[in-house]
Amino acid sequence: MIRVLVSSCLLGEAVRYHGGDARCESEILDRWRAEGRLVPICPETAAGLPVPRPPAEIAGGDGSAVLRGQAQVVDLIGADMTAAFRRGAQATLDAAIATGARLAILKDGSPSCATTYIHDGSFRDQRDHGMGVTAAMLAQAGIRLFNEHHVEDAARFLEALEKEGP
């Protein structure tokens, strides 16, 4: 069975910076959960960050730039959170490898999990195109990424993978 990595917050776990979740109501996710296919993880809590915690944004680029050492993850008061976000990304990649996950459904807009947009580091709700730190690391490892708005696309991708066989 091909496993699917999924942001814990999308499954209703209260792991987000503000102490809440970002539950994604989806029959597909419900079915995959019942099948034991899901690998829930929050990169930020996997890195040891508390809940709640100050909001964080990527300053100077996106997650790929963070991985190259060209950008930082900072919190609202300017503290450098880059090392924690890199640890969380590595823990998530390790979980994907250990479970054989070949795709991931991640929370868009997150400095960890964003697949299409991040916030620009100004803490003024300004968006930039780009991936979060974890998403960038997973993509570099060849894991196919989807966000909460594209669960159906993820299901089609998984179906195609299963037809290919091992």
pLDDT, one tens digit per residue, over 26-37 is: 999 999 999 999
Q: How confident is the model over 110-129, as a mean pLDDT? A: 96
Positive/negative CA dihedral, 8, 128, 139, 164: positive
From the CB of residue 128, how many other CB atoms can be counted at a distance below 10 Å?
Answer: 15
In this structure, are residues 78 and 66 in contact, taking their beta carbons and an 8 Å threshold? Answer: no
Strand 72-75 versus strand 56-59 pairing type: antiparallel
Structure tokens at 151: 């669960």
C-alpha 122/C-alpha 85 separation (Å) is: 18
Question: Is the full-model pTM beyond 0.85?
Answer: yes
Q: Give the helix/strand (H/E) hosting 155.
A: helix 151-164
pLDDT of residue 166: 64
Element (H, E) at 138: helix 133-140
- Backbone dihedral region of 123: left (phi > 0), alpha (psi from -120 to 50 degrees) or beta? left
pLDDT one-digit tens code per residue, 47-85: 999 999 999 999 999 999 999 999 999 999 999 999 999
146 to 6, 70, 103, 116: CA distances (angstroms): 9, 25, 8, 9
